[in-house]
Amino acid sequence: MTAADTGALLAEAMLVIVKLGGPPLLAALVVGVVIALFQAVTQINEATLSFIPKLLALGVTMMLLGSFMFATLSSYTALLFDRMVAAGGS
């Protein structure tokens, strides 16, 4: 395994991290901003008000994109195992 192969695997790992972590973080960010605007407009300063909507948004995001996330992670894992077998065989 050369340095270029290692670099390609690391670049692919960063892409997988973005694919797996991006949608839940984006959902939590959008819900957090909407709740913060609601709290600013209505002057309700309740700290626990944003917890349940964020939790629900994360749950919905995981239900909708869970299969995509699992497929992404399993294909990257298969790629890593194939590379390990190829590196051990040579």
Which residues have a Cβ under 8 Å from the Cβ of 45 and sit 6 or more positions away? 39
State the Cα–Cα distance between residues 4 and 89, nearest whole angstrom: 18
Which residues have a Cβ under 8 Å from the Cβ of 73 and sit 6 or more positions away? 16, 20
In the block, tokens 């065989």 appear at: 89
Phi, psi of 74 (to 5 degrees): -70, -35
Report the pLDDT value the prediction gives residue 48, as an integer from 0 to 100.
80
Q: How confident is the model at residue 89 (pLDDT cuts 50, 70, 90)?
A: low
What are the extents of the domains in the chain? 16-89
What is the per-residue pLDDT across 16-55, written as a single tens digit (0 to 9) for each? 999 999 999 999 999 999 999 998 898 888 878 888 999 9
